[in-house]
Every structure is written in structure tokens, then in C-alpha cells.
Amino acid sequence: MFATVRIASIMLLSIVFLSACSSSGTFTVKQELIETINNQKTVSIMIKSDKIPESEKEDAQKACSSLQEKLYSRLVSVGLFKSSVIYPNKGDYSLEVDVLGVRLVSNTARLWFGVMTGASGIEANVLLKDETGKVLSDFHADGSSATHPMSSESGSDNAVNELANQIAQVLKNK
């Protein structure tokens, strides 16, 4: 019986450890992409964080800046658009990302408190519009980092990277 309990304990710890070792993201589509994106066009990227409480503004600014950089290159590198620009510059499409919540966990906190600090995370509502302002896609997406301090994906930047991945994935699905 002791051996069975020991094996079960080891398996449980392994599952907890392995599930905490990678970053992840999800999305919920409110409106499917209604027409194919012309990959020879330009997208204007606007990131806003108006709904973030004042106590989280500093973290939100860091996360928004990082997200803007990642989307600027990612949307072109995956072949969705010919080029990208930052709002207020105009593009053929506009991608509006409204950041709703940010939780950044420092590496120091993660090393001191380990998995108990939880994951870094970011969530946003996303709209893709054409040049007339017509909404082509509307969805909610989020990204989170790994929770384990020894994971290579435990940094707060990994949560932002996962959100950028989710946004690109939704837009590529048409």
C-alpha cells in the first residue's frame, strides 16, 4: 500500500510540475472573421488600456508596449499583412486591442515564492476593422506564463507573447 501511495504522489507532483512549465493562451470568438484578410494590405495597431485600474497602470503600460512590439512584427511575419503601422498612422485594416487586465509576476517573486505566486497574465478584447470601420472580427483572448520558477517560459513577457500568438491564430483561421 505504501508503494501505491508513493507512486500516486510522484505522479500527482509530476502532473502539477509539468502543467506549470509552459505558457499558454486561449481565445473566445464573438464574431468569426467575416472575410479573408488581404495579405497585401497594411494594418494599423492600436493598443489601449483604459479599463485598467490605476493600481495596475504601470504593469499595463509595460505589457501594452511589449504587446505592440510583438504584434507589429508577428502579424507580418506570419503572412497576415504586408506591413504594420502603429496608431495613429492609418492602415487598410485597424486592429484594436483593448487590454482588460494585466498581472505581471516578477522573476524575483517567482524565485522566492515559486509556483504559489501564480502566472503572469494578460487579457484583451480585440477588434479587426476594415478601412470603412466595418468590424471583420471580434474576440476575447488571453495569455499566461508558466508558473514554475525554473521554466524557460515563466517570465511576464511570455504571457504577452501568448496573447500575441492567440491574436494571430484567430486572424489566420479564415
pLDDT, tens digit, 9 for 90 and up, residues 98-155: 999 998 766 565 555 555 556 778 999 999 999 999 999 999 999 987 544 444 344 5
- Identify the pLDDT of residue 77: 96
The answer to the question of residue 1 being in a domain is: no
Residue 8 lies in a domain: no
Give a yes or no: residue 142 inside a domain: yes
For residue 144, the enclosing domain spans 22-172
Question: Considering the domain boundaries, does residue 35 fall inside one?
Answer: yes
What tens digit of pLDDT does each residue of 31-89 get?
A: 999 999 999 999 999 999 998 988 888 889 999 999 999 999 999 999 999 999 999 99
Q: Count of alpha carbons within 13 Å of 80, Cβ hemisphere only?
A: 26
**What cell does 11 get?**
505522479
Judge whether 137 lies within some domain. yes
Count of the separate structural domains present in the chain = 1
Residues 153 and 21: beta-carbon distance below 8 Å: yes
15 within some domain: no
Query: What's the grid cell of residue 95?
Result: 486592429
- Residue 16 within a domain: no
Q: What is the pLDDT of residue 123?
A: 95
Strand partners, 126: 97, 139
In a domain, 10, yes or no: no
Q: What is the CATH number of the domain that holds 98?
A: 3.30.160
With 0.85 as the threshold, say if the pTM is over it: no
DSSP 114-130: GGGG---EEEEEEEEEE
